[in-house]
C-alpha cells in the first residue's frame, strides 16, 4: 500500500540506497488512468471546438469569421473574410453598447479611401458603405436583388435596382428628407416623383438607419478586428456630452482614452514587435548568455566567498538592529543628544527631539526594538556553530554542482515538459471554450443607451431641431437629452427557436447579442482538465526535485569524491526517478494539486459573492480567513513535499515513509535547517537580483551603440524605444538565474537534509560528510568505510 511504513531492515541502513524497488505504484496507475480521461476530453474538444471563433471572432449572426458556416441549410463561405467589422463604430464608445454593436466579417479593414465622412453627407460611392449579409438584409430586402451572394456585404449600389418598395412609411420619410434642403431636397423630390430603390440608398446615408451603413472612420486591423480611428473632434464632443448627461454610466475621460488607445494600439504594437525583432541580439547576449555566465560566476563567488558574504550579511543585520535600538532610545529621551554626536544628528532626516507627549510612545517602541536587537544578537551568538555549518553546506552544494556540470542543463528537460503541458492545456482549453452552445442575451430596450446614430430611426428627431444636418452635433444633442438609467443585467432570449432562427432574430435585434456558453458537461470537463494541469505540473516539479536530489545525494554520500560516484550521476538519478519513484511523486503531487484546486474554487466563489460580502462583513472576513488558511496549508505541504522528495531520492522509500522521515529530521534539526535556509535564501536572492540587473546593464550598453540608436546610419536595426528590449533582457536574465539557482537551492536543501540524516544515524557525527562539513564538525571520515550499495 502507498502509506505502509514497515521496518524493513534493508531500508534502515545508512547512506544512499542503490538497489531500489518500485514505490506507490497504485498512485502511478491512478495518474495514468487520469490522463486517459484527459485525452478523452481532448478528443471531445477537437471534435466540437472551433478555434477560429477565438482567433477571428463570431459576428452578430453567430457565424465564425475565416471559415465556412452553415445556416438555414445554406453554406456561408467566409474563409477569406477574417476581419470583424463593426457596422456602427460609435457603438464601441459605450460601455453598455459594446456587446450589442452589430458586426460582420470583412475581407479587409476599410481604409481612408472608403471613409464616408459624417460631416459631408450624402455619399455616393458604394465602397463607402458596409451592409449586413444579404441573406440577413434589413427591411426584408432579401430576394429583392437578384444575383447578389448570400454573404455579400457590398450591395449598396445594387439597392438602386429594387423596384418594389415595401416600406409603408417611405413616402412620409422622403417628405421629411426633402425639408433638409440642398442636395437632399433635390434627391427627395426626384424620389417623390418616382419611388425606386434609391430610397434605401438615401436612407442608408443617415448613419444607423440601414439597410446599409456608412463607413464613418478609417479602421486599422488589430488581431483580426477592425478598430476605428475616431477623430479628436468627434471624441471631444462626445466627452463633453458624457460629462454633462451620462457621467453616472460612462467615465468621460474613459471615452477619449479608449478612442486614443484604439487609434494608436496597432501602431504601438507594430513598433514593439519591430523593436523586439531588431533587438533580438541584445536579448540573447544581455539576457540569455549574460544570465548564464553571470549565474556561473555567482556560483564561483558563493564557492569561495560565500562565507564572507554570509558573515557580512549577518553583521549588517545586527548593526542595523542596534542602530534602530539606539535611535529609539534617543527619541525616548534616555540617551542625550550630546552622546549621539552633532554630525550624526545633522545627517538624520528626522527631528531627534520629539514632543514630551510622544516620548512615552517612543519608550515603548525602544523597549520593543531592544528586545528584538537583543534576541537577534543572542541568536547570532548561539548559532555561530550552526552558521558555520550553513556556510559549509552552501559551499558543499557549490562543489556538488561544480562536480556535475550537466546538472545545470537538466532543468531544460522539465522546462520542455512544462512548455509542452502549457501548450497542450491552452490548446484544449481554447477548443473547449469555443465548443459551447449558441445563446442569445437580451436587455430591456427601454434602458438601451449607447453613443450611436442608431437612435435616429426617425429622421424627424433631426429635422425638427436643426436646419443643416450634422450627425455629430445631432448625436451630442441626443445624449444631452438622455436621462434613462442603465441596467447591465441581461436575460436569455429567443430560447424557443432553433439555433439558426435564434441567430437571425438576435442579429436583427439591437438589444441582443450572441455568445457561446458552456453547458454543465463542459463545465465539469473543464474542472477535470484544470485539475489535470495542476496535478501534472506538480508531477513535473517533483520529477525535477527527486532527480536533482538523487544526483547531489551521490556526491554527499561519496564524501565528495568522484571515485565513489557513478560515471554519470545525473543520468543515474534520472533513471532511478523514472523507474522507481514516479508513483511516489504522483502521490505527493496529487496532495498539492487538490489543495490548489480548493484554492481556485474559493477564489471563484469569492468573485461570485462580492456583492454579498459587501453587505455582510462577517462573510467577507470568513472568506479572507479561509483563503489565508488554505494558502498557509499549501506552503506547508509544499515544504514537506520538497523534503520528502529528497528522502525519496536518498533512501528510496515510498512517499509516506519519506515524508515522515523528513518531518522527523526537520523537527529534530529545526534550528540548523532554519539557519541554512535563511542564509541560502539571502544569498540566492542577491544572486538573482544581481544577475538580472547586470543583464539589464549589458543590454542598455548595447542599445546605446550607434548600431541601435542611429536611424540614419543603421535604419534596419534602429530601436524606436529600447525600453522593451532592455526589459525583456532583464526578464530573460532573471529566468535564467531562476532556473540556475533552483538547481543550486535544491542542492543546498539536499546537502543539509543528507547531513542531518548522516548525523542522526551516527549519534551526531556525520560519517559520510564531505571534507568541508567534516572540518566544521571537527570530525574526519574514516576512509576505508566507503559507501556500500544497499537494497531498498
Highest-confidence segment of 89-93, 103-107, 219-223, 291-295: 103-107
What percentage of the chain has pLDDT greater than the value 70? Answer: 80
Mean pLDDT, to the nearest integer, of 447-460? 38
760 CB-near residues (< 8 Å, 6+ apart): 665, 668, 669
Q: Confidence band (pLDDT; 50, 70, 90) for 628?
A: very high
Measured on CA atoms in the order 361, 364, 367, 371, is the torsion positive or negative?
A: negative
Q: Confidence band (pLDDT; 50, 70, 90) for 662?
A: very high
Cα–Cα distance between 196 and 75 in angstroms, integer?
31
Mean pLDDT, to the nearest integer, of 2-31? 68
DSSP 8-state secondary structure symbol assigned to residue 140: G
Greater pLDDT, 42 or 254: 42
Task: Note the pLDDT of residue 245.
Answer: 36
Greater pLDDT, 549 or 774: 549
Greater pLDDT, 166 or 82: 82
Residues 687/302, Cβ–Cβ less than 8 Å:
yes
Task: Note the pLDDT of residue 287.
Answer: 85
Task: Note the pLDDT of residue 469.
Answer: 36
Greater pLDDT, 315 or 595: 595
Query: Helix or strand or coil: residue 378?
Result: helix
Mean pLDDT, to the nearest integer, of 269-287? 74
Greater pLDDT, 616 or 10: 616
Mean pLDDT, to the nearest integer, of 609-623? 86
Task: Note the pLDDT of residue 361.
Answer: 79
Residues 121/469, Cβ–Cβ less than 8 Å:
yes
Mean pLDDT, to the nearest integer, of 781-785? 46
Task: Note the pLDDT of residue 778.
Answer: 58
Quick: pLDDT tens for 243-259: 333 333 334 444 445 44
Q: 214 has which bridge partners?
A: 129
Residue with cell 532556473: 739
Greater pLDDT, 74 or 306: 74
Look at residue 689 and tell me whether its pLDDT is greater than 60. Answer: yes
Q: Which of 517, 509, 516, 515 is nearest to 102 (CA)?
A: 509
Least confident interval from 222-236, 541-555, 698-712? 222-236
Task: Note the pLDDT of residue 704.
Answer: 82
Task: Note the pLDDT of residue 789.
Answer: 43
Q: Confidence band (pLDDT; 50, 70, 90) for 270?
A: low
Task: Note the pLDDT of residue 588.
Answer: 95
Separation in Å, CA 245 to CA 98, 161, 251, 355, 479: 19, 43, 11, 53, 6
Residue 607 has a CB neighbour count (10 Å cut-off) of: 8
Separation of CA 470 from chain center: 45
Residues 97/91, Cβ–Cβ less than 8 Å:
yes
Quick: pLDDT tens for 374-403: 998 888 888 787 788 888 888 888 888 888
Greater pLDDT, 117 or 109: 109
Quick: pLDDT tens for 115-164: 887 566 677 788 889 999 998 888 888 888 888 998 899 999 888 888 87
Greater pLDDT, 483 or 752: 752
Look at residue 329 and tell me whether its pLDDT is greater than 60. Answer: yes
Task: Note the pLDDT of residue 357.
Answer: 53
Mean pLDDT, to the nearest integer, of 739-752? 87
Mean pLDDT, to the nearest integer, of 632-654? 93
Least confident interval from 154-163, 574-583, 765-774? 765-774
Task: Note the pLDDT of residue 399.
Answer: 83
Greater pLDDT, 323 or 779: 323
Task: Note the pLDDT of residue 787.
Answer: 47
Task: Note the pLDDT of residue 83.
Answer: 92
Look at residue 729 and tell me whether its pLDDT is greater than 80. Answer: yes
Task: Note the pLDDT of residue 471.
Answer: 39
Measured on CA atoms in the order 203, 205, 209, 213, is the torsion positive or negative?
A: positive
Quick: pLDDT tens for 518-529: 778 888 999 999
Residues 419/76, Cβ–Cβ less than 8 Å:
no
Cα–Cα distance between 536 and 169 in angstroms, integer?
66
Residues 20/576, Cβ–Cβ less than 8 Å:
yes
Task: Note the pLDDT of residue 41.
Answer: 94
What letters, b where the CB count within 10 A reaches 16 and e where it falls short, cover 624-639? Answer: eeebeebeeebeebbe
Look at residue 481 and tell me whether its pLDDT is greater than 50. Answer: no
CA dihedral of residues 57, 60, 66, 70 (deg, nearest 10) = 130
Look at residue 424 and tell me whether its pLDDT is greater than 80. Answer: yes
Task: Note the pLDDT of residue 216.
Answer: 83
Residues 781/769, Cβ–Cβ less than 8 Å:
yes
Look at residue 590 and tell me whether its pLDDT is greater than 80. Answer: yes
Task: Note the pLDDT of residue 484.
Answer: 34
Q: Confidence band (pLDDT; 50, 70, 90) for 659?
A: very high
Look at residue 584 and tell me whether its pLDDT is greater than 80. Answer: yes
Greater pLDDT, 602 or 185: 602
- 3-state DSSP helix/strand/coil percent for the chain, to nearest 5? 65, 5, 30
**Would you kindly state where each structural domain of the chain is located, as residue ranges?**
24-41+405-431+522-777, 56-277
Greater pLDDT, 167 or 242: 167
Please, what is the average pLDDT of the chain? 78
Highest-confidence segment of 64-73, 115-124, 193-202: 64-73
Look at residue 790 and tell me whether its pLDDT is greater than 60. Answer: no
Look at residue 166 and tell me whether its pLDDT is greater than 70. Answer: yes
Cα–Cα distance between 286 and 160 in angstroms, integer?
64
Amino acid at each position: 500500500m502507498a502509506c505502509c511504513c514497515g521496518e524493513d531492515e534493508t531500508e534502515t541502513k545508512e547512506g544512499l540506497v542503490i538497489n531500489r524497488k518500485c514505490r506507490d505504484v497504485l498512485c502511478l496507475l491512478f495518474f495514468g488512468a487520469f490522463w486517459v480521461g484527459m485525452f478523452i476530453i481532448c478528443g471531445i474538444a477537437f471534435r466540437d471546438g472551433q478555434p477560429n471563433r477565438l482567433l477571428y471572432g463570431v459576428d452578430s449572426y453567430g457565424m465564425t469569421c475565416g471559415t465556412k458556416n452553415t445556416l438555414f441549410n445554406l453554406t456561408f463561405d467566409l474563409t477569406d473574410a477574417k476581419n470583424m467589422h463593426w457596422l456602427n463604430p460609435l457603438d464601441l464608445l459605450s460601455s453598455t453598447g459594446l456587446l450589442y454593436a452589430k458586426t460582420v466579417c470583412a475581407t479587409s479593414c476599410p481604409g481612408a479611401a472608403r471613409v464616408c465622412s459624417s460631416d459631408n453627407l450624402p455619399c455616393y460611392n458604394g465602397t463607402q458603405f458596409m451592409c449586413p449579409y444579404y441573406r440577413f438584409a434589413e427591411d426584408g430586402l432579401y430576394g429583392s436583388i437578384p444575383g447578389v451572394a448570400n454573404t455579400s456585404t457590398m450591395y449598396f449600389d445594387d439597392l438602386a435596382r429594387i423596384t418594389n418598395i415595401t416600406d409603408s412609411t417611405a413616402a412620409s420619410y422622403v417628405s421629411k428628407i426633402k425639408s433638409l434642403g440642398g442636395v437632399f431636397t433635390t434627391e427627395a423630390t426626384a424620389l417623390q416623383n418616382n419611388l425606386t430603390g434609391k430610397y434605401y440608398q438615401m436612407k442608408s446615408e443617415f448613419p444607423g438607419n440601414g439597410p446599409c451603413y456608412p463607413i464613418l472612420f478609417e479602421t486599422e486591423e488589430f488581431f483580426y478586428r477592425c478598430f476605428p480611428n475616431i477623430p479628436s473632434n468627434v471624441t471631444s464632443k462626445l466627452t463633453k456630452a458624457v460629462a454633462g448627461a451620462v457621467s453616472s454610466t460612462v467615465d468621460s475621460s474613459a471615452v477619449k482614452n479608449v478612442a486614443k488607445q484604439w487609434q494608436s494600439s496597432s501602431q504601438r504594437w507594430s513598433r514593439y514587435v519591430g523593436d523586439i525583432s531588431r533587438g533580438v541580439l541584445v536579448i540573447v547576449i544581455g539576457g540569455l548568455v549574460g544570465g548564464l555566465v553571470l549565474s556561473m560566476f555567482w556560483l564561483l563567488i558563493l564557492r569561495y566567498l560565500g562565507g564572507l558574504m554570509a558573515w557580512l550579511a549577518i553583521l549588517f543585520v545586527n548593526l542595523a538592529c542596534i542602530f534602530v535600538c539606539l535611535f529609539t532610545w534617543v527619541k525616548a529621551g534616555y540617551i542625550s543628544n550630546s552622546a549621539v554626536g552633532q554630525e550624526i544628528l545633522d545627517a538624520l532626516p528626522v527631528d531627534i527631539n520629539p514632543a514630551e507627549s510622544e516620548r512615552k510612545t517612543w519608550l515603548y517602541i525602544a523597549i520593543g526594538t531592544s528586545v528584538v536587537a537583543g534576541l537577534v544578537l543572542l541568536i547570532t551568538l548561539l548559532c555561530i556553530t550552526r552558521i558555520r555549518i550553513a556556510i559549509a553546506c552552501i559551499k558543499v552544494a557549490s562543489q556538488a554542482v561544480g562536480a556535475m556540470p550537466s546538472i545545470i542543463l537538466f532543468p531544460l528537460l522539465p522546462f520542455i515538459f512544462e512548455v509542452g503541458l502549457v501548450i497542450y492545456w491552452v490548446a484544449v482549453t481554447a477548443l473547449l471554450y469555443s465548443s459551447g452552445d449558441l445563446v442569445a442575451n437580451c436587455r430591456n430596450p427601454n434602458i438601451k443607451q449607447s453613443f450611436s446614430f442608431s437612435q435616429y430611426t426617425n429622421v424627424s428627431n433631426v429635422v425638427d431641431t436643426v436646419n443643416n444636418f450634422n450627425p455629430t452635433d445631432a448625436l451630442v444633442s441626443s445624449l444631452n437629452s438622455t436621462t434613462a438609467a442603465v441596467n447591465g443585467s441581461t436575460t436569455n432570449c429567443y430560447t424557443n427557436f432553433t439555433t439558426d432562427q435564434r441567430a437571425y432574430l438576435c442579429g436583427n435585434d439591437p438589444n441582443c447579442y450572441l455568445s457561446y456558453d458552456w453547458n454543465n458537461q463542459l463545465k465539469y470537463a473543464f474542472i477535470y482538465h484544470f485539475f489535470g494541469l495542476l496535478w501534472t505540473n506538480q508531477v513535473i516539479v517533483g520529477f525535477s526535485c527527486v532527480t536533482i536530489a538523487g544526483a547531489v545525494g551521490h556526491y554527499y554520500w561519496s564524501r565528495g569524491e568522484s571515485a565513489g560516484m557513478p560515471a554519470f550521476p545525473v543520468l543515474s538519478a534520472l533513471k532511478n526517478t523514472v523507474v522507481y519513484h514516479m508513483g511516489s511523486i504522483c502521490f505527493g503531487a496529487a496532495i498539492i494539486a487538490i489543495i490548489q484546486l480548493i484554492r481556485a474554487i474559493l477564489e471563484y466563489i469569492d468573485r461570485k459573492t462580492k456583492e454579498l460580502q459587501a453587505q455582510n462583513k462577517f462573510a467577507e472576513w470568513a472568506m479572507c480567513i479561509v483563503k489565508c488558511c488554505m494558502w498557509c496549508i499549501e506552503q506547508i505541504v509544499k515544504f514537506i513535499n520538497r523534503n520528502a522528495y529528497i528522502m525519496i531520492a536518498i533512501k528510496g522509500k515510498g512517499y509516506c515513509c519519506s515524508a515522515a522521515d523528513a518531518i522527523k529530521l526537520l523537527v529534530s534539526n529545526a534550528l540548523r535547517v532554519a539557519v541554512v535556509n535563511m542564509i541560502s535564501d539571502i544569498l540566492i536572492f542577491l544572486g538573482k537580483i544581481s544577475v538580472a540587473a547586470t543583464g539589464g546593464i549589458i543590454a542598455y550598453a548595447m542599445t546605446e551603440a550607434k548600431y541601435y540608436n542611429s536611424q540614419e546610419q543603421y535604419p534596419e536595426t534602429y530601436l524606436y524605444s529600447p525600453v522593451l528590449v532592455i526589459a525583456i533582457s532583464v526578464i530573460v536574465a532573471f529566468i535564467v538565474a531562476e532556473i540556475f539557482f533552483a538547481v543550486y537551492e535544491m542542492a543546498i536543501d539536499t546537502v543539509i537534509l543528507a547531513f542531518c540524516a548522516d548525523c542522526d544515524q551516527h549519534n551526531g557525527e556525520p560519517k559520510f560528510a564531505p571534507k568541508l562539513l567534516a572540518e566544521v564538525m571537527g570530525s574526519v571520515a574514516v576512509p576505508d568505510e566507503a559507501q556500500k550499495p544497499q537494497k531498498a
